[in-house]
Structure 1
Amino acid sequence: MKNVVILGGYGNFGKRICEALIDLDDVIIYIAGRNPEKAERLKNQLQPKAKAVVKTATLDINDSKFASELSALSPDLVIHTGGPFQGQDYGVPEVCINAGAHYIDLADDRRFVCDITNLDTQARDKGVLVVSGASSVPGLSSAVIDHYREEFSSISTIDIAIAPGNKAERGLATVAGILSYTGHPFPVFRDGIWQQAYGWMDPKVEDFGAFARKRYLANVDIPDLELYPDLYQVSERVSFQAGLELGILHYGMVAMAYLCKIGLVKNWQPLAKPIVAASNYFGSFGTDKGAMRVKIAGIDLQGQDQEISWTLYAPDGNGPYIPTLSTIILARKLLCDEAKTSLPTGAKPCVNLLELEDFNPYFDTYKIHYHSQIRKQNWEQNREQDHNAGQEI
């Protein structure tokens, strides 16, 4: 039996990961966190339909006994969903390495993900894989870029956008992470040089087509902004924006960012709970449709200008499953021994580890659809391709 510990296992993302792994044989899944009642409640929901053995564990990553209590579970794999990761140190992955366990997290914090390589030697010495950022970004976004990379001789721009539906479930940790840099500066690669951008500013509207229509976007700080200029030899720009579906909420955030930028507010993160509570009053408005877009532009193999636009559509409130898929895919590979041939050891961000095809079975399960369009020089040549799970767009 292989032991899997899911920290924050009853949370917004953790519960979805638990659901996706309970069909595995010869696995014990520990739903772990500080609240034993919530863990027990989820266990009782999952156990009747599980092939895996589902157990609970009361663990607090900030407790002095965390290392010994985790080690006592003899974990083969630890999945860390307990955000926000902004401000966290590497205590959790280091404990996992010392316990000889593989480690995966869904971190979205730029420093946490990009600097995880500091643990590379320790992880290699223990023969384990430590992966940070196994989420929509950079896990899925890099898989998309890798899928189309061979169609370019050079890349000039990469632009990524995520637009969740207003009715999608909100995670407190995710909101707290966003608020930590709202109105604060961070470096971006723009016009071929590194410049400053401000969190949740530079608002614009992006048209995602008939399914998700026009959505509001603004600057968000993610690891991709730092990783991709060198990884893909981008010459001009790497950008990422996300937004809220309702204008009143989106531009409320823009206003909050401005107040922070001019110094009237120092940090919005401590107000994450009341801000989430206030936004929930608008939960009946908008849609349950989410979208994600990755645009790659550059020169094709024949020397022509080329742009590839890959757009994903998530219906029925299934958008929150997308951030969990990179972690689920990696976990299944590790637990089914595929890692012996397909995955390295060491510590790294979640880039160049997954293929776009790895996601297709999960997209089908959650009726998620994606569409790609290739546009050539002067837009005279178009080629479109769909992966359709059956829903209308």
Structure 2
Amino acid sequence: MKTDTLLILGGYGNTGRLIARLLLQETDCHVVLAGRDLARAEAMARTLASEQGGERVSAVRADAADPSSLRRALEGCRLVIVASSTSAYAGQVARAALDTGTDYLDLQFSWTKFGALRPLEEEIRGAGRCFITDGGFHPGLPAVLVRYAGSRFDHLTRAEVGSVIRIDWARLDIGAATAEEFVRELADYQVLEFQKGAWRPAPWKAMWMPRTMDFGPVFGRQYCVPMFLEEMRSLPELYPGLWRVGFYVGGFNWFVDWLVSPLAWLAMRVWPRRALRPMARLMHWGLRRFSRPPYGTLLKLEADGLVRGTARHLELTLSHADGYAFTAIPVVACLLQYLDGTARRPGLWLQAHVAEPERMLRDMERMGVALTLTEPLPGRERAPEDHWGQTPAHS
């Protein structure tokens, strides 16, 4: 039986190398690390090969800005995983994948990327290719949590997901391209939440007087603001009883949240090309200089609905000490379903909608994500923990 070959563009980066390590651990695939710097890719391949005690990892040079190098690298590969900060070249990567008969998955949050992929949707489907976009932690998981909650209620009425990302940036090797990607995300930021039957812009006071969410004993109550993700758009259609749904993102640190982010948002709208590099340098400096412990990454769902006519409340929390691992693990959990065929369908899909939620959460837990699910019984003040082996609330 032929072993599948998966190529990771950006395979020696902070997230790419973790995806590679997990793929070698969880599958029998051959993994190819690709990037502009062949020496770094080869060094990482040797490291992973020594860890795994095998020869299922190799390296190749591939530059997202160079279509010919992409096509050469992708020949013979089943799927390309885009883990690099190259959303500006999403169209070129997608075209190279189509030209070589390669499936595709990316980890990038970018409306520019969507603009490049959407026109190719019919061609992707017609070619029998499976393209999965918006992989990772967020985007990638918030709608998975809502879909999971939808399976626990007869009628889901409210589903809100909040996140905390606290990373010791000073210890990480963050390249200029990654910092610039952060700033581009700010320029793309859409402050939308679903209320009263429609996706609506949050009032401006929500940015200056943000709501708070209780993120548990480590992080406590944190402020967070609405952040629209494409994966959330269709949820009110999937669950017609929803009257409120949204994703809310917490801050990095006071300097980045209240000074750098508003300045970068304004500058990128007035001078999008001239402002990118200086704003990225300022963002990078602010993340490294002002971030403080406790560190970790956490995603929390709060949901309300009805079970047999009785009001119920559900809370689901996912967390990991390493934010990059929390990005890599959902990707690999999705790929496990892709590789066995259950999540491979021709067309352009969002990670949060192509994967089966409960299996994805179980696989993530097995790979190191901490999960806590609480479902209070009617009339109870405190909620017992559900350790994933108990009967669903509506059974």
Considering the TM-score relative to the shorter chain, is it more than 0.5? Answer: yes
Query: Is the counterpart of residue 58 in structure 1 residue 61 in structure 2?
Result: yes
Change (3 A) 1:215 1:387: farther
* Rounded Cα–Cα distance in structure 2 between residues aligned with 1:286 and 1:265: 34
Runs of 4+ in 1 over 6 A off after TM superposition: none
* Rounded Cα–Cα distance in structure 2 between residues aligned with 1:97 and 1:175: 29
Equivalence map 1:138-153=2 (5 Å): 138-153=139-154
Partner of 2:207: 201
| Residue 17 (structure 1) shift | 0.5
TM-score between the two structures when normalised by the length of structure 2 = 0.81
Query: Is the counterpart of residue 326 in structure 1 residue 330 in structure 2?
Result: yes
Change (3 A) 1:195 1:362: closer
* Rounded Cα–Cα distance in structure 1 between residues aligned with 2:160 and 2:111: 17
* Rounded Cα–Cα distance in structure 1 between residues aligned with 2:357 and 2:145: 8
Other structure's SS at 1:312 match = strand
* Rounded Cα–Cα distance in structure 2 between residues aligned with 1:13 and 1:206: 28
* Rounded Cα–Cα distance in structure 2 between residues aligned with 1:326 and 1:114: 24
* Rounded Cα–Cα distance in structure 1 between residues aligned with 2:173 and 2:229: 18
* Rounded Cα–Cα distance in structure 2 between residues aligned with 1:196 and 1:280: 31
Equivalence map 1:38-117=2 (5 Å): 38-50=40-52, 51-71=54-74, 73-83=75-85, 85=87, 87-110=88-111, 112=113, 116=117
Change (3 A) 1:107 1:376: farther
Partner of 2:374: 373
Contact 2:136 2:328 in 1 (8 A): yes
Change (3 A) 1:25 1:328: closer
* Rounded Cα–Cα distance in structure 1 between residues aligned with 2:300 and 2:374: 11
Partner of 2:344: 343
| Residue 5 (structure 1) shift | 0.9
Other structure's SS at 1:137 match = coil
Query: Is the counterpart of residue 275 in structure 1 residue 283 in structure 2?
Result: yes
| Residue 100 (structure 1) shift | 1.6
Contact 1:23 1:52 in 2 (8 A): no
Equivalence map 1:353-372=2 (5 Å): 353-366=355-368, 368-372=369-373
Which blocks of at least 5 consecutive residues in structure 2 are unaligned? 389-395
Give the counterpart letter for 1:308 in structure 2: L
Give the counterpart letter for 1:54 in structure 2: V
Other structure's SS at 1:122 match = helix
Change (3 A) 1:252 1:286: farther
| 1:272-309 residue CA offsets vs partner (Å, 9 max, x unmatched) | 234213321235x22222211112223x1323333322
Contact 2:196 2:243 in 1 (8 A): yes
| 1:194-247 residue CA offsets vs partner (Å, 9 max, x unmatched) | 322489935343221113223342333422342333333364332222223533
Q: Which deviates further from its counterpart, 189-198 or 124-133? A: 189-198
Partner of 1:391: none
Contact 2:191 2:228 in 1 (8 A): yes
TM-score between the two structures when normalised by the length of structure 1 = 0.81
* Rounded Cα–Cα distance in structure 1 between residues aligned with 2:386 and 2:181: 33
Partner of 2:391: none
Q: Which deviates further from its counterpart, 265-274 or 55-64? A: 265-274
Q: Which deviates further from its counterpart, 271-280 or 228-237? A: 228-237
| Residue 4 (structure 1) shift | 1.4
Contact 1:4 1:75 in 2 (8 A): yes
Query: Is the counterpart of residue 305 in structure 1 residue 311 in structure 2?
Result: yes
Contact 1:27 1:52 in 2 (8 A): no
| 1:317-352 residue CA offsets vs partner (Å, 9 max, x unmatched) | x232122223212333444xx11x553232211214
Among candidates 244, 250, 266, match of residue 243 of structure 1: 250
* Rounded Cα–Cα distance in structure 1 between residues aligned with 2:27 and 2:354: 28
Equivalence map 1:133-172=2 (5 Å): 133-167=134-168, 169=172
Computed over aligned residues only, the root mean square deviation of the Cα atoms, in angstroms, reads 3.4
* Rounded Cα–Cα distance in structure 1 between residues aligned with 2:272 and 2:131: 34
Contact 1:161 1:292 in 2 (8 A): yes
Contact 1:79 1:105 in 2 (8 A): yes
* Rounded Cα–Cα distance in structure 1 between residues aligned with 2:41 and 2:265: 39
| Residue 258 (structure 1) shift | 7.4
Change (3 A) 1:219 1:269: farther
Give the counterpart letter for 2:307 in structure 1: L
Percent of aligned pairs sharing the same letter? 18
* Rounded Cα–Cα distance in structure 2 between residues aligned with 1:354 and 1:138: 16
Partner of 1:295: 302
Change (3 A) 1:295 1:54: same
Give the counterpart letter for 2:371 in structure 1: Y
Change (3 A) 1:160 1:84: farther
Which blocks of at least 5 consecutive residues in structure 1 are unaligned? 389-393
* Rounded Cα–Cα distance in structure 2 between residues aligned with 1:246 and 1:67: 38
* Rounded Cα–Cα distance in structure 1 between residues aligned with 2:179 and 2:202: 19
